[in-house]
Chain A
Amino acid sequence: MQWGLRKKYLIWLLTVVFLGSIAGYAFAQDDVLYWGSSGTKVRAVQQRLKDWGYYDGPVDGYFSGKTASAVRKFQARHGLTADGLVGQRTFSAMGLYTPPKKTTYTVKSSGTIAYVGNDHNVNLLARVIMGEAADEPYVGKVAVGAVILNRTKHSSFPQTMAGVIYQPLAFESVANGQYNRAVTADAIRAAQDALAGYDPTGGATFFWNPYKPVSKWIWSRKIVTQIGNHVFGL
């Protein structure tokens, strides 16, 4: 029985750990607030609950036990499962739910005469610009597009745009799939400008963020300019 008891606890422990890890994973993915969460969303929830008289604790952005019981009260009143977790349905019941932005821009195809055109290049370039320079100023976006186009004209790189973009280890956002995010109108516009021949770098074939760890070798390149968080080199 001693052995059986230990085994029993062991199995329970394993089960709990396993379920816990799955649950934690799921919550992290779905942006659910629960006991222990913190941040501006928690603050907004607390404010709502306080305004409506469910909650009398501090609006401090920390999901405490008090907050949880207020949430449970709110849920019971509104016909939701009283689990004390603030998920999408509880958010909408509180009027706090904003649907995730899913704005996908693609170049409007001109759709006349021939299938020969530049739209596919604009879309491909815009995606890499999005992956590599989403938070850069506009000129920085055009510059990243220009670097890709400069590479196609340089003897050390593939000579097509797809060849340059999909060259292994060339662009981090392509390697980790980040460039597959929805592109913004700004990224499309930057890609169009780069393809129209605007080049703020004056012929650079490399760019990197000096504030991030990069290969030491990259510093042997001749730096021509800096735009936003990127330096551009030859």
Chain B
Amino acid sequence: MKRWGLPALVGLLILAVAGFWGYREYQNKVVLENYLNSRYQMSFYNLINRVQNMEVLLGKTLATAGDTDNTLIFSEIWLQAEGARENLTQLPLTSDIVGRTAKFLAQSGDFARVEVKKITSGQSLADEEFNILNSLYRQASQLNRDLQSMERQVADGRLTVAEITQSARQELDKGAPTGGSSNFQSIDQQMQGFPTLIYDGPFSDHLDRAAPVGLGNEPTSADEARNIARKFVDIPDDESYRAQVAGRTKEKIPGYTIELIPRNGQAGRIVGNVSDKGGKIVWYMDSRTIGAPKLSIDQARDKALNFLESRGYQNTVNVYHQTQDNRVIFNFIPQERGVVLYPDQLKVSVALDDGQIIGFDARGYLMAHKERDIPAPKISDSEARGKVNKRMAITRTRLAIIPTDDGKERFSYEITGDINGETYLVYVNAITGKTDNVLKLIEQKNGILTM
């Protein structure tokens, strides 16, 4: 008996410790699971409440359409829709299941925001917008009804949020929705009937169809694209790189991906895109390591300007820069007859060790640059300056074309000034005299941030 008494004791002790440890782990797991479940439940119930509020608010707009009191209702729809979208995307569901529902919520909120802007600028609702509201209302009540029936299943205990989580995970492996998330899937399919919305907001459907206007028409062959890239990229000795086509891209600016491969294997590769139409460099990036900085920001800016001019981008002004470690990223915009064109932005990254251009991006320019018919301003610059706060000490006024959320452009006075030692940019519409936008300049050691 004594010979195996001790080992038995030790064995039992180990088992007890292991058991205790396992039990603690299990307890922790239960606590965490409950915690996570409650978070998901909170999102789910908030979602239902917000969609319900949306339904009611959209209904109200139908009853009071045309009234300026609508502003309040519309801003509330915007608030509820954004909240609902956030709640929906916090649920453990993949975007193929909730994508369209999220889009419906985003567009309803976006549409409401545009209406608020319209009403505050004195316009009233057109018949077309009344129709859109009507269809949004019907969609919202359908969504509300579906969510309510899901809620009943959740409350009955027939469906737990944990189940939705699990089924969503299985579905990632299998590819077909199962269990709880199929409920969301069927809701999402009904959202398919939701009509295309054309309005002036950033989520409007017409923005997806935006096409580049600054390219040109002549198609480019792969060989030409290689040469274009080799000539454009800022490399000290073009012989030391071999250009090859790495692939085709089918994005908004379709074209070729070109890689410049160093012949001696020391330097890094440089990658960039050349557009199919017009053979323009869309962007390029050199990821080489950068040594200790030797250039000042101003010297780097000169390098960037020289680079742009030698590559055919004349008459640009630097509007903004940020220093990051040993490089600076400059933003340039073209100027036309004294008007700065913000939509046609160009980005240039300069390495501060030898002034090489290690990054270039012309996407903004190629998407937006065109022959513009810039009208004469209807209000004078002194009238425009009268629109800003009297306490602002104005340091500069100039005319600018600025982009709007919906991909359109506005013609405005850009008024720069200081209040309490902080710098603000106020954009006053040169045609209507209304304030289009206000930006704050945040000066940091590594650059200026606009917000």
Contacts and interface: CB of A to CB of B under 8 A. Distances in A.
A209 interface: no
B95 interface: yes
Interface residues of A, number: 58
A223 B250 contact: yes
Interface stretch (A25-33, A74-82, A93-101, A155-163): A155-163
A169 B172 contact: yes
A113 B444 contact: yes
A23 interface: no
Nearest to A151: B95
A37 interface: no
Interface string B191-203: 0000000000011
A112 to B, nearest CB: 5
B253 A202 contact: yes
A36 interface: no
Given A113-B444, A198-B285, A203 B175 contact: no
Nearest to A192: B324
A114 B451 CA distance: 13
A186 B288 CA distance: 10
A118 interface: yes
Given A139-B271, A203-B252, A114 B442 contact: yes
Contacts of B282: 202
B202 A197 contact: no
Interface stretch (B67-75, B82-90, B295-303, B336-344): B82-90
Contact of A112 (B100, B324, B444): B444
A157 B95 contact: yes
B268 A158 contact: no
Interface stretch (B2-10, B147-155, B226-234, B376-384): B2-10
Given A155-B103, A168-B93, A113 B250 contact: no
A15 to B, nearest CB: 5
B90 A224 contact: no
A156 B11 CA distance: 57
B324 A189 contact: yes
B11 A159 contact: no
B442 A113 contact: yes
Contact of B82 (A112, A159, A167): A159
A116 B268 contact: no
B285 A155 contact: no
Nearest to B1: A4
B90 A202 contact: no
Interface string A77-110: 0000000000000000000000000000000001
Interface stretch (A5-13, A38-46, A53-61, A65-73): A5-13
Interface string B92-110: 1111101110110011001
A20 to B, nearest CB: 12
A228 to B, nearest CB: 10
Contacts of B412: none
Contacts of B446: 110
Interface string A115-146: 01110000000000000000001110010000
B249 interface: yes
B292 interface: no
A156 B257 contact: no
Contact of B443 (A113, A118, A192, A193): A113
B4 A4 contact: yes
Nearest to A5: B4
Contacts of B248: 225
Interface in B324-369: 324-325, 329, 347, 349, 359, 361, 363-364
Interface string B241-255: 000000111111100
Interface string A148-191: 00000101111100010001111000000000000001101100
Contact of A197 (B100, B169, B361): B361
Q: Which of A113, A137, A142, A196 has the most CB of B within 10 A?
A: A196
A225 B258 CA distance: 12
Given A110-B444, A167-B89, A217 B96 contact: yes
A113 B442 CA distance: 8
B222 interface: no
Contacts of A163: 86, 89-90
27 contacts: A11-B4, A14-B11, A14-B14, A110-B445, A139-B287, A155-B102, A155-B103, A158-B86, A158-B90, A159-B106, A163-B89, A167-B90, A186-B287, A188-B325, A189-B324, A196-B322, A196-B329, A197-B361, A200-B285, A201-B251, A202-B273, A204-B251, A215-B96, A215-B172, A217-B94, A217-B175, A222-B250
Given A116-B442, A139-B287, 17 more contacts: A15-B14, A18-B14, A110-B446, A138-B287, A157-B102, A158-B89, A163-B89, A169-B93, A188-B325, A196-B324, A200-B273, A200-B283, A202-B251, A213-B173, A215-B175, A222-B250, A224-B249
Interface of B: 1, 3-4, 7-8, 10-12, 14-15, 18, 82, 85-86, 89-96, 98-100, 102-103, 106-107, 110, 165, 168-169, 171-173, 175, 202-203, 247-253, 257, 268-269, 271, 273, 282-283, 285, 287, 322, 324-325, 329, 347, 349, 359, 361, 363-364, 442-446, 449, 451
**In the complex, the 5 A-B pairs of residues with the closest C-beta atoms, listed nearest first:** A202-B251, A138-B287, A155-B106, A8-B4, A216-B175
